[in-house]
A = this chain, B = another copy of it.
Amino acid sequence: MSVQTPGFGAFEVFQIMRDGKPRTRAELTVQTGLSRSTIASRIDTLSELGLVKPVSYASSTGGRPSSQIAFNASAGIVAAADLGATHATIAITDLAGKRIAETHTRLEIADAPEEVLELLGENIAALLQQIDRDSSDLAAIGVGLPGPVEHDTGRPSKPPLMPAWDGFDVPAEIRKKFPVPVLVDNDVNIMALGERSINWPDTDHMIFVKVATGIGAGIISGGQLQRGADGTAGDIGHIPIPRGAFVPCTCGNTGCLEALASGPAIAAGLRKNGADVHTVADIIALARSGDLAATQAVRQAGRDIGEVLNMCVSIINPSVITIGGSMAEAGEHLIAGIREAVYGRSTPIATQHLTIQQSRSGPQAGVIGASILAIEYALSAERLESLHNHRTA
Protein backbone atom coordinates (compact mmCIF):
# COMPACT_ATOMS: atom_id res chain seq x y z
CA MET A 1 0.00 0.00 0.00
CA SER A 2 1.29 3.40 -0.81
CA VAL A 3 1.30 6.33 1.48
CA GLN A 4 1.03 9.84 0.13
CA THR A 5 4.34 11.62 0.45
CA PRO A 6 4.29 13.83 3.51
CA GLY A 7 4.90 17.46 2.74
CA PHE A 8 3.35 17.71 -0.68
CA GLY A 9 -0.32 17.40 0.05
CA ALA A 10 -1.21 18.79 -3.37
CA PHE A 11 -0.02 15.56 -5.00
CA GLU A 12 -3.33 13.79 -4.51
CA VAL A 13 -5.22 16.57 -6.27
CA PHE A 14 -2.62 16.69 -9.02
CA GLN A 15 -2.88 12.94 -9.66
CA ILE A 16 -6.61 13.37 -10.25
CA MET A 17 -5.96 16.30 -12.61
CA ARG A 18 -3.43 14.41 -14.72
CA ASP A 19 -6.12 12.90 -16.96
CA GLY A 20 -6.39 16.37 -18.51
CA LYS A 21 -10.11 16.79 -17.81
CA PRO A 22 -11.11 20.33 -16.73
CA ARG A 23 -12.73 20.48 -13.28
CA THR A 24 -14.16 23.11 -10.97
CA ARG A 25 -12.93 23.51 -7.39
CA ALA A 26 -16.35 22.27 -6.24
CA GLU A 27 -15.96 19.06 -8.29
CA LEU A 28 -12.56 18.45 -6.74
CA THR A 29 -14.00 18.99 -3.27
CA VAL A 30 -16.60 16.29 -3.91
CA GLN A 31 -14.13 13.93 -5.57
CA THR A 32 -11.47 14.14 -2.84
CA GLY A 33 -13.57 14.70 0.25
CA LEU A 34 -11.19 17.56 1.12
CA SER A 35 -12.56 20.86 2.36
CA ARG A 36 -13.07 23.82 0.02
CA SER A 37 -10.26 25.72 1.71
CA THR A 38 -7.85 22.76 1.41
CA ILE A 39 -8.71 22.38 -2.29
CA ALA A 40 -8.23 26.10 -2.82
CA SER A 41 -4.80 26.05 -1.19
CA ARG A 42 -3.73 22.98 -3.17
CA ILE A 43 -4.84 24.49 -6.44
CA ASP A 44 -2.83 27.59 -5.51
CA THR A 45 0.26 25.44 -4.94
CA LEU A 46 -0.21 23.64 -8.27
CA SER A 47 -0.85 26.95 -10.08
CA GLU A 48 2.33 28.46 -8.64
CA LEU A 49 4.23 25.47 -10.01
CA GLY A 50 2.46 25.99 -13.35
CA LEU A 51 1.06 22.48 -13.26
CA VAL A 52 -2.58 23.50 -13.55
CA LYS A 53 -4.19 26.48 -15.25
CA PRO A 54 -7.64 27.98 -15.61
CA VAL A 55 -9.23 26.77 -18.84
CA SER A 56 -12.73 28.19 -19.22
CA TYR A 57 -15.83 29.23 -17.40
CA ALA A 58 -18.36 26.50 -16.69
CA SER A 59 -21.94 27.40 -17.47
CA SER A 60 -23.73 28.40 -14.34
CA THR A 61 -27.36 28.85 -13.39
CA GLY A 62 -26.94 32.41 -12.27
CA GLY A 63 -24.52 33.70 -9.68
CA ARG A 64 -20.78 33.78 -10.18
CA PRO A 65 -19.48 31.51 -12.97
CA SER A 66 -17.24 28.68 -11.70
CA SER A 67 -13.71 28.74 -12.97
CA GLN A 68 -12.46 25.42 -14.31
CA ILE A 69 -8.89 24.32 -14.04
CA ALA A 70 -6.98 21.57 -15.84
CA PHE A 71 -3.55 19.94 -16.02
CA ASN A 72 -1.19 22.21 -17.90
CA ALA A 73 0.76 19.67 -20.00
CA SER A 74 2.79 22.45 -21.57
CA ALA A 75 4.12 23.59 -18.17
CA GLY A 76 7.31 21.80 -19.08
CA ILE A 77 9.01 19.71 -21.70
CA VAL A 78 11.16 16.62 -21.51
CA ALA A 79 13.72 15.18 -23.88
CA ALA A 80 13.50 11.49 -24.76
CA ALA A 81 15.98 9.30 -26.61
CA ASP A 82 15.83 5.71 -27.81
CA LEU A 83 19.40 4.71 -28.64
CA GLY A 84 19.81 1.53 -30.69
CA ALA A 85 22.91 -0.25 -31.95
CA THR A 86 23.25 1.91 -35.07
CA HIS A 87 20.51 4.55 -34.89
CA ALA A 88 18.68 6.79 -32.46
CA THR A 89 15.29 8.47 -32.22
CA ILE A 90 15.31 11.65 -30.17
CA ALA A 91 12.26 13.74 -29.30
CA ILE A 92 11.00 16.61 -27.19
CA THR A 93 7.55 16.03 -25.68
CA ASP A 94 5.23 17.95 -23.41
CA LEU A 95 4.29 16.65 -19.93
CA ALA A 96 1.50 14.53 -21.42
CA GLY A 97 3.98 12.73 -23.71
CA LYS A 98 2.89 14.55 -26.88
CA ARG A 99 5.80 14.86 -29.29
CA ILE A 100 6.65 18.47 -30.17
CA ALA A 101 9.79 17.76 -32.19
CA GLU A 102 11.61 14.62 -33.26
CA THR A 103 14.76 13.65 -35.10
CA HIS A 104 16.59 10.52 -36.20
CA THR A 105 20.30 10.02 -36.39
CA ARG A 106 22.79 7.29 -37.16
CA LEU A 107 25.33 6.36 -34.48
CA GLU A 108 27.58 3.52 -33.41
CA ILE A 109 26.63 2.55 -29.87
CA ALA A 110 29.89 0.58 -29.58
CA ASP A 111 31.81 3.89 -29.71
CA ALA A 112 32.98 5.60 -26.53
CA PRO A 113 30.03 6.78 -24.40
CA GLU A 114 31.35 10.37 -24.36
CA GLU A 115 31.20 10.48 -28.18
CA VAL A 116 27.72 8.94 -28.43
CA LEU A 117 26.34 11.17 -25.67
CA GLU A 118 27.86 14.26 -27.28
CA LEU A 119 25.97 13.38 -30.45
CA LEU A 120 22.82 12.92 -28.34
CA GLY A 121 23.38 16.31 -26.69
CA GLU A 122 23.84 18.05 -30.04
CA ASN A 123 20.58 16.56 -31.28
CA ILE A 124 18.65 17.60 -28.17
CA ALA A 125 20.08 21.12 -28.46
CA ALA A 126 19.10 21.29 -32.14
CA LEU A 127 15.54 20.16 -31.34
CA LEU A 128 15.26 22.76 -28.57
CA GLN A 129 16.43 25.46 -30.95
CA GLN A 130 13.98 24.26 -33.59
CA ILE A 131 11.03 24.79 -31.20
CA ASP A 132 12.51 27.96 -29.77
CA ARG A 133 13.01 26.57 -26.28
CA ASP A 134 15.95 26.58 -23.96
CA SER A 135 17.65 23.76 -22.07
CA SER A 136 16.44 25.39 -18.86
CA ASP A 137 12.89 24.50 -19.97
CA LEU A 138 13.66 20.76 -19.73
CA ALA A 139 12.05 19.06 -16.71
CA ALA A 140 13.97 15.81 -17.24
CA ILE A 141 15.62 13.61 -19.85
CA GLY A 142 14.75 9.93 -20.44
CA VAL A 143 17.17 7.65 -22.27
CA GLY A 144 16.85 4.04 -23.44
CA LEU A 145 20.02 2.04 -24.13
CA PRO A 146 20.38 -1.32 -25.91
CA GLY A 147 21.78 -3.23 -22.93
CA PRO A 148 21.34 -3.91 -19.20
CA VAL A 149 21.21 -0.74 -17.10
CA GLU A 150 21.18 -0.29 -13.34
CA HIS A 151 18.11 1.92 -13.31
CA ASP A 152 18.80 3.55 -9.92
CA THR A 153 22.21 4.87 -10.99
CA GLY A 154 21.77 5.01 -14.78
CA ARG A 155 24.96 2.98 -15.29
CA PRO A 156 25.05 0.18 -17.89
CA SER A 157 26.01 -3.24 -16.47
CA LYS A 158 28.28 -5.31 -18.72
CA PRO A 159 26.34 -4.41 -21.88
CA PRO A 160 27.44 -6.84 -24.66
CA LEU A 161 26.82 -4.42 -27.57
CA MET A 162 28.57 -1.50 -25.87
CA PRO A 163 31.38 -2.82 -23.65
CA ALA A 164 32.96 0.64 -23.34
CA TRP A 165 29.86 1.76 -21.40
CA ASP A 166 30.21 -0.75 -18.54
CA GLY A 167 29.63 1.17 -15.31
CA PHE A 168 29.74 4.53 -17.12
CA ASP A 169 27.81 7.28 -15.33
CA VAL A 170 25.43 8.19 -18.16
CA PRO A 171 23.35 10.72 -16.16
CA ALA A 172 26.45 12.61 -14.99
CA GLU A 173 27.78 12.87 -18.54
CA ILE A 174 24.47 14.16 -19.90
CA ARG A 175 24.10 16.58 -16.98
CA LYS A 176 27.37 18.29 -17.97
CA LYS A 177 25.39 19.78 -20.84
CA PHE A 178 21.84 19.67 -19.42
CA PRO A 179 21.71 20.10 -15.63
CA VAL A 180 18.38 18.25 -15.15
CA PRO A 181 17.36 14.82 -13.85
CA VAL A 182 18.36 12.05 -16.28
CA LEU A 183 16.61 8.66 -16.20
CA VAL A 184 18.17 5.71 -17.99
CA ASP A 185 16.71 2.30 -18.67
CA ASN A 186 17.22 -0.50 -21.15
CA ASP A 187 15.51 -0.20 -24.52
CA VAL A 188 13.13 -3.09 -23.93
CA ASN A 189 11.72 -1.55 -20.75
CA ILE A 190 11.07 1.79 -22.42
CA MET A 191 9.49 0.02 -25.40
CA ALA A 192 7.18 -1.85 -22.99
CA LEU A 193 6.17 1.46 -21.37
CA GLY A 194 5.55 3.04 -24.79
CA GLU A 195 3.67 0.05 -26.23
CA ARG A 196 1.39 -0.05 -23.19
CA SER A 197 0.75 3.69 -23.25
CA ILE A 198 -0.09 3.69 -26.97
CA ASN A 199 -2.06 0.46 -27.40
CA TRP A 200 -2.88 -1.18 -24.07
CA PRO A 201 -3.45 1.57 -21.49
CA ASP A 202 -5.90 -0.59 -19.50
CA THR A 203 -3.78 -3.75 -19.41
CA ASP A 204 -2.10 -4.46 -16.08
CA HIS A 205 -0.25 -7.65 -17.02
CA MET A 206 1.65 -7.61 -20.28
CA ILE A 207 4.95 -8.66 -21.80
CA PHE A 208 6.67 -6.77 -24.59
CA VAL A 209 9.28 -8.87 -26.41
CA LYS A 210 11.96 -7.31 -28.56
CA VAL A 211 13.40 -9.65 -31.19
CA ALA A 212 16.33 -8.15 -33.09
CA THR A 213 20.10 -8.50 -32.66
CA GLY A 214 19.28 -9.68 -29.15
CA ILE A 215 16.10 -10.91 -27.46
CA GLY A 216 14.67 -9.35 -24.30
CA ALA A 217 11.37 -8.61 -22.61
CA GLY A 218 9.83 -5.71 -20.71
CA ILE A 219 7.41 -6.96 -18.09
CA ILE A 220 4.43 -5.07 -16.70
CA SER A 221 2.78 -6.85 -13.74
CA GLY A 222 0.11 -5.37 -11.51
CA GLY A 223 0.17 -2.24 -13.67
CA GLN A 224 3.85 -1.52 -12.95
CA LEU A 225 6.98 -2.02 -15.03
CA GLN A 226 8.90 -4.67 -13.09
CA ARG A 227 12.68 -4.29 -13.09
CA GLY A 228 13.40 -6.86 -10.37
CA ALA A 229 15.94 -6.65 -7.57
CA ASP A 230 18.94 -5.86 -9.81
CA GLY A 231 17.20 -4.47 -12.89
CA THR A 232 17.54 -7.70 -14.89
CA ALA A 233 13.88 -8.78 -14.91
CA GLY A 234 12.79 -9.77 -18.42
CA ASP A 235 16.28 -10.89 -19.47
CA ILE A 236 14.87 -13.88 -21.38
CA GLY A 237 17.55 -14.04 -24.11
CA HIS A 238 19.71 -16.35 -22.02
CA ILE A 239 17.10 -18.87 -20.96
CA PRO A 240 18.21 -22.27 -22.33
CA ILE A 241 16.28 -24.03 -25.09
CA PRO A 242 16.68 -27.83 -25.18
CA ARG A 243 17.19 -28.07 -28.96
CA GLY A 244 20.15 -25.70 -28.68
CA ALA A 245 22.09 -27.82 -26.19
CA PHE A 246 25.43 -27.42 -27.99
CA VAL A 247 25.02 -23.99 -29.60
CA PRO A 248 27.47 -21.56 -27.95
CA CYS A 249 26.17 -18.15 -26.88
CA THR A 250 28.10 -14.89 -26.51
CA CYS A 251 27.33 -15.05 -22.75
CA GLY A 252 29.57 -18.11 -22.29
CA ASN A 253 26.74 -20.61 -21.84
CA THR A 254 25.25 -22.82 -24.54
CA GLY A 255 21.74 -23.20 -25.85
CA CYS A 256 20.50 -19.71 -24.96
CA LEU A 257 17.37 -18.47 -26.75
CA GLU A 258 19.40 -15.62 -28.22
CA ALA A 259 21.94 -18.06 -29.70
CA LEU A 260 19.11 -19.75 -31.61
CA ALA A 261 16.41 -17.25 -32.45
CA SER A 262 17.96 -13.77 -32.69
CA GLY A 263 18.53 -12.09 -36.07
CA PRO A 264 22.25 -12.99 -36.22
CA ALA A 265 21.52 -16.62 -35.25
CA ILE A 266 18.90 -17.01 -38.00
CA ALA A 267 21.20 -15.34 -40.55
CA ALA A 268 24.09 -17.65 -39.61
CA GLY A 269 21.83 -20.69 -40.04
CA LEU A 270 20.69 -19.54 -43.49
CA ARG A 271 24.28 -18.83 -44.56
CA LYS A 272 25.17 -22.43 -43.74
CA ASN A 273 22.60 -23.38 -46.36
CA GLY A 274 24.34 -21.13 -48.88
CA ALA A 275 22.11 -18.05 -48.66
CA ASP A 276 23.72 -14.59 -48.80
CA VAL A 277 22.08 -13.29 -45.61
CA HIS A 278 23.72 -10.97 -43.10
CA THR A 279 21.23 -8.60 -41.53
CA VAL A 280 17.71 -8.79 -40.14
CA ALA A 281 16.59 -6.87 -43.23
CA ASP A 282 18.12 -9.61 -45.42
CA ILE A 283 16.23 -12.31 -43.50
CA ILE A 284 12.94 -10.45 -43.80
CA ALA A 285 13.42 -9.78 -47.52
CA LEU A 286 14.23 -13.44 -48.17
CA ALA A 287 11.26 -14.69 -46.13
CA ARG A 288 8.93 -12.22 -47.86
CA SER A 289 10.21 -13.41 -51.26
CA GLY A 290 8.77 -16.82 -50.35
CA ASP A 291 12.11 -18.57 -49.79
CA LEU A 292 11.24 -21.83 -48.04
CA ALA A 293 14.40 -22.10 -45.92
CA ALA A 294 14.01 -18.50 -44.69
CA THR A 295 10.33 -18.97 -43.90
CA GLN A 296 11.05 -22.16 -42.00
CA ALA A 297 13.94 -20.57 -40.10
CA VAL A 298 11.78 -17.63 -39.01
CA ARG A 299 8.96 -19.94 -37.93
CA GLN A 300 11.39 -22.12 -35.95
CA ALA A 301 12.77 -18.99 -34.25
CA GLY A 302 9.16 -18.17 -33.38
CA ARG A 303 8.71 -21.64 -31.83
CA ASP A 304 11.91 -21.21 -29.79
CA ILE A 305 10.77 -17.80 -28.54
CA GLY A 306 7.34 -19.29 -27.88
CA GLU A 307 8.88 -22.03 -25.77
CA VAL A 308 10.37 -19.40 -23.47
CA LEU A 309 7.20 -17.28 -23.54
CA ASN A 310 5.27 -20.37 -22.54
CA MET A 311 7.31 -20.35 -19.31
CA CYS A 312 6.67 -16.61 -18.92
CA VAL A 313 2.94 -17.31 -19.24
CA SER A 314 3.14 -19.92 -16.45
CA ILE A 315 5.12 -17.59 -14.22
CA ILE A 316 3.52 -14.19 -14.92
CA ASN A 317 0.10 -14.95 -16.48
CA PRO A 318 -0.13 -11.88 -18.75
CA SER A 319 -3.22 -11.06 -20.81
CA VAL A 320 -1.19 -9.53 -23.64
CA ILE A 321 2.13 -10.43 -25.27
CA THR A 322 3.33 -8.11 -28.03
CA ILE A 323 6.29 -8.81 -30.28
CA GLY A 324 8.39 -5.88 -31.43
CA GLY A 325 11.94 -5.24 -32.59
CA SER A 326 13.23 -5.41 -36.16
CA MET A 327 12.59 -9.17 -36.50
CA ALA A 328 8.90 -8.60 -35.76
CA GLU A 329 8.70 -7.13 -39.27
CA ALA A 330 8.97 -10.73 -40.47
CA GLY A 331 5.31 -10.70 -39.49
CA GLU A 332 3.10 -13.74 -39.47
CA HIS A 333 5.78 -16.44 -39.75
CA LEU A 334 7.40 -15.36 -36.48
CA ILE A 335 4.10 -14.79 -34.64
CA ALA A 336 2.71 -18.10 -35.97
CA GLY A 337 5.66 -20.00 -34.50
CA ILE A 338 5.30 -18.18 -31.18
CA ARG A 339 1.56 -18.89 -31.01
CA GLU A 340 2.12 -22.54 -31.93
CA ALA A 341 4.50 -23.04 -29.00
CA VAL A 342 2.57 -21.01 -26.42
CA TYR A 343 -0.94 -22.26 -27.17
CA GLY A 344 0.30 -25.80 -27.76
CA ARG A 345 1.74 -26.14 -24.30
CA SER A 346 0.33 -23.66 -21.75
CA THR A 347 -2.48 -24.60 -19.38
CA PRO A 348 -5.94 -23.70 -20.74
CA ILE A 349 -6.72 -21.30 -17.89
CA ALA A 350 -3.57 -19.21 -18.46
CA THR A 351 -4.20 -18.81 -22.20
CA GLN A 352 -7.99 -18.47 -22.33
CA HIS A 353 -7.77 -14.67 -22.45
CA LEU A 354 -4.24 -14.34 -23.81
CA THR A 355 -3.61 -12.15 -26.86
CA ILE A 356 -0.31 -12.57 -28.73
CA GLN A 357 0.36 -10.09 -31.50
CA GLN A 358 2.85 -7.99 -33.33
CA SER A 359 3.53 -4.61 -31.73
CA ARG A 360 1.42 -1.98 -33.44
CA SER A 361 3.31 0.99 -32.07
CA GLY A 362 6.34 0.34 -34.26
CA PRO A 363 9.58 2.25 -33.83
CA GLN A 364 8.04 5.11 -31.82
CA ALA A 365 7.32 2.85 -28.79
CA GLY A 366 10.88 3.37 -27.53
CA VAL A 367 11.03 7.14 -27.65
CA ILE A 368 7.51 7.49 -26.20
CA GLY A 369 8.49 5.10 -23.38
CA ALA A 370 11.62 7.17 -22.72
CA SER A 371 9.46 10.29 -22.44
CA ILE A 372 7.13 8.47 -19.99
CA LEU A 373 10.18 7.57 -17.90
CA ALA A 374 11.18 11.25 -17.77
CA ILE A 375 7.65 12.56 -17.16
CA GLU A 376 6.82 10.11 -14.36
CA TYR A 377 9.96 11.21 -12.56
CA ALA A 378 9.43 14.92 -13.22
CA LEU A 379 5.88 14.68 -11.90
CA SER A 380 6.55 12.32 -8.97
CA ALA A 381 5.51 13.37 -5.46
CA GLU A 382 9.15 13.59 -4.34
CA ARG A 383 10.15 15.79 -7.27
CA LEU A 384 7.15 18.13 -7.01
CA GLU A 385 7.70 18.44 -3.28
CA SER A 386 11.30 19.44 -3.84
CA LEU A 387 10.32 22.00 -6.50
CA HIS A 388 7.69 23.38 -4.14
CA ASN A 389 10.08 23.60 -1.17
CA HIS A 390 12.70 25.24 -3.35
CA ARG A 391 10.17 27.84 -4.46
CA THR A 392 8.83 28.60 -1.00
CA ALA A 393 12.22 28.50 0.76
Confirm or deny: A247 has a beta carbon within 8 angstroms of a beta carbon on chain B.
Answer: no
**Beta-carbon contact of B228 and A318 below 8 Å:** yes
Residue of B232, B235, B349 touching A158 (CB-CB under 8 A)? B349
**Beta-carbon contact of A231 and B12 below 8 Å:** no
Query: Would you list which residues of chain A between 210 and 268 have a CB under 8 Å from chain B?
Result: 217, 219, 221-222, 224, 226-236, 238-240, 242, 251, 253
Residue of B242, B311, B316 touching A239 (CB-CB under 8 A)? B311
Confirm or deny: A131 has a beta carbon within 8 angstroms of a beta carbon on chain B.
Answer: no
Which of A28-36, A62-70, A79-87 contacts its partner? A28-36
Q: How far is the CA of A38 from the CA of B312 in the complex (A)?
A: 47
Residue of B9, B34, B353 touching A33 (CB-CB under 8 A)? B9
What is the distance, in angstroms, from A354's C-beta to the closest C-beta of chain B?
Answer: 8
**Beta-carbon contact of B316 and A228 below 8 Å:** yes
Q: Which 3 A-B pairs have the closest CB atoms?
A: A228-B317, A229-B319, A242-B242
Confirm or deny: A50 has a beta carbon within 8 angstroms of a beta carbon on chain B.
Answer: no
Given contacts A33-B7, A352-B230, are A222 and B222 in contact (CB under 8 A)?
yes
A4: chain B residues within 8 A (beta carbon): 4, 12, 32
Given contacts A32-B9, A33-B9, A240-B345, are A316 and B315 in contact (CB under 8 A)?
yes
Number of chain A residues whose Cβ lies closer than 8 Å to a Cβ of chain B:
64
Q: How far is the CA of A310 from the CA of B232 in the complex (A)?
A: 13
Q: Which residues of A contact B (CB under 8 A)?
A: 1-4, 6-9, 12, 15-16, 30-35, 38, 148, 157-158, 204-205, 217, 219, 221-222, 224, 226-236, 238-240, 242, 251, 253, 308, 310-312, 314-319, 345, 347-350, 352-354, 376
A350: chain B residues within 8 A (beta carbon): 228, 230, 232, 235
A308: chain B residues within 8 A (beta carbon): 311
Q: Could you tell me the dominant secondary structure of chain A's interface residues?
A: loop
Known: A38-B38, A232-B350, A239-B310. 17 other contacts (CB 8 A): A2-B2, A3-B16, A4-B32, A6-B30, A6-B32, A8-B33, A158-B349, A221-B221, A221-B226, A228-B350, A230-B349, A230-B350, A231-B317, A235-B347, A236-B315, A238-B314, A308-B311
Given contacts A3-B16, A235-B317, A347-B235, are A229 and B242 in contact (CB under 8 A)?
no
Q: How far is the CA of A279 from the CA of B227 in the complex (A)?
A: 40
Residue of B8, B35, B232, B317 touching A232 (CB-CB under 8 A)? B317
A9: chain B residues within 8 A (beta carbon): 32-34
**Beta-carbon contact of A228 and B251 below 8 Å:** no
Q: How far is the CA of A7 from the CA of B236 in the complex (A)?
A: 43
Nearest chain-B residue to A257 (Cβ)? Answer: B314
Given contacts A205-B228, A239-B311, A347-B251, are A316 and B233 in contact (CB under 8 A)?
yes
Given contacts A230-B349, A232-B349, A352-B230, are A315 and B219 in contact (CB under 8 A)?
yes
A12: chain B residues within 8 A (beta carbon): 3-4
**Beta-carbon contact of B253 and A316 below 8 Å:** no
